[in-house]
Amino acid sequence: MRGGLALTFLLAVATGCTSTPPVPLGAEPPPLASGYANAEPTGWQIGVCEEWWSSFDAPVLDRLVEQALADVRSWHSSTVSVVPMS
């Protein structure tokens, strides 16, 4: 049992010390595969809906997000009244 624990510890330490070689500064990223380079989107809308969570049709989620947004707005207005922006 003790030998197995020591071996596990040794392997964990040895594995943690390995790394990949550093990437030189200014190196170009690898090219995209030809199937992905300049590919046009298919079947997806471009852009993000401001109320993306409503697509889940979950009333509980809608209420939670509404409450969170209200809290953020009230927090922001309270910090602005305490610390005036310059």
Token reading at 10: 């040794």
The residue type found at 59 is P
**Does residue 29 fall inside a structural domain?**
no
The yes-or-no verdict on residue 63 having pLDDT over 80 is yes
The more confidently predicted of residues 71 and 79 is: 71
**Does residue 25 fall inside a structural domain?**
no
**Does residue 80 fall inside a structural domain?**
yes
Give the chain's domain count.
1
When the pLDDT of each residue in the chain is averaged and rounded to a whole number, the result is: 75
13-48 burial, b at 16+ Cβ within 10 Å, e below that, comes to eeeeeeeeeeeeeeeeeeeeeeeeeeeeeeeeeeee
The model carries a pTM of 0.36
What range defines the domain where residue 65 resides? 54-86
Compute the C-alpha angle 41/46/50, nearest 5°: 155
What pLDDT, on the 0 to 100 scale, is given for residue 61? 94
**Does residue 75 fall inside a structural domain?**
yes
